[in-house]
Amino acid sequence: MNRQKSFENNKATLYLVATPIGNLSEMTFRAIEILKSVDYIAAEDTRNTIKLLNHFQINTKLISHHEHNLHTSIQKVLSLLEEGCNIALVSDAGYPAISDPGYELVVEAIESGYNVVPISGANACLNALVVSGIAPQPFMFYGFLDHQDKKKKKELMALKDFKKTIVFYESPHRIRKTLQLLLEIFGNRNIALAREITKKHEEINRGTITEILEIVDDMKGEMVIVVEGNKNVAEEVVFEQSVQEHVDEYIKMGMSTKDAIKEVSKQRNVAKNIIYSEYHKR
């Protein structure tokens, strides 16, 4: 068990700082304060982050932390934490560790006994979800599907019966193919396609997949797809009684064992031979 009282100890802290996803005005006062106060900022791309820091007159030292240098950068951050330094982790936009580097570092920092503290801010998934017009809960955030069509199709097949709203991220050059696969596998569901969220050319498109496909070729920018859950999946019936008890109930009502098994098979939507085998186990 790991019990963290973030502000009641003297341990070094790894801050996960959300940064704007498009509009610089989304930067919170707390985020600016933390980025100014820490000893180092670990950034996904230091070239992008330096622009943000310059805008808010933040002079904290930068170190690199991206998917291609995870092993060395994690060890670097851990050694700095061990020295008592506080570190802020940022991605290029939004929350670190959400479809961006960060998760592995978080796990290592927790296991090493340091504080890991979130600093709230922008998130493209939640922004798109709340404006989609599609039920916001329960929902599942999936992020990016695999780039290869074969693997992407396999992923979607595994998700097609989910009754929850699902949120995907997608790039503009793959959006048409992804929507076509969604249509093929999920059917013509209602979706919302959001792009350029919080930016000047923000656009939210709500409609069926076929309707969105008619206009998608003109769209640019990173995109979020919000897909309604499968409403055609039958509700799973949970039986409190065992199969044996269920069959015995019908036998007590005057049915033969054979007919009772047949009735239980129908109600539970389970093959008769399975019910028969289960019943005669005792």
Boundary of a domain, candidates 75, 97, 122: 122
Looking at the 3D structure of the chain, how many domains does it have?
3
pLDDT in tens, 124-149: 999 999 999 999 999 999 999 999 99
The residue among 115 and 271 whose pLDDT is bigger is 115
4-28 residue pLDDT tens: 999 999 999 999 999 999 899 999 9
In terms of residue numbers, what domain contains 131?
A: 125-227
User: Which parts of the chain are beta strand (E)?
Assistant: 13-17, 40-43, 61-64, 87-90, 115-119, 139-144, 165-170, 190-195, 203-208, 223-227
Q: Are residues 115 and 140 in the same domain?
A: no
95-118: per-residue pLDDT in tens? Answer: 998 888 889 999 999 999 999 999
Q: Are residues 117 and 184 in the same domain?
A: no
* pLDDT > 80? residue 156: yes
Question: Does residue 145 sit in the same domain as residue 70?
Answer: no
Whether residue 139 lies inside any domain: the answer is: yes
Domain boundary among 72, 102, 122: 122
Write down the mean pLDDT value for the chain.
92
Q: Is-above-0.85 flag for pTM?
A: no
Q: Which of 183, 185, 186, 187 is nearest to 214 (CA)?
A: 183
Of 63, 96, 122, the last residue of a domain is 122
Answer yes or no: is 236 within a domain. no
Sign of CA dihedral 95, 100, 102, 107: positive
pLDDT at residue 235, as a whole number: 60
What is the mean predicted confidence (pLDDT) over 150-166?
Answer: 93
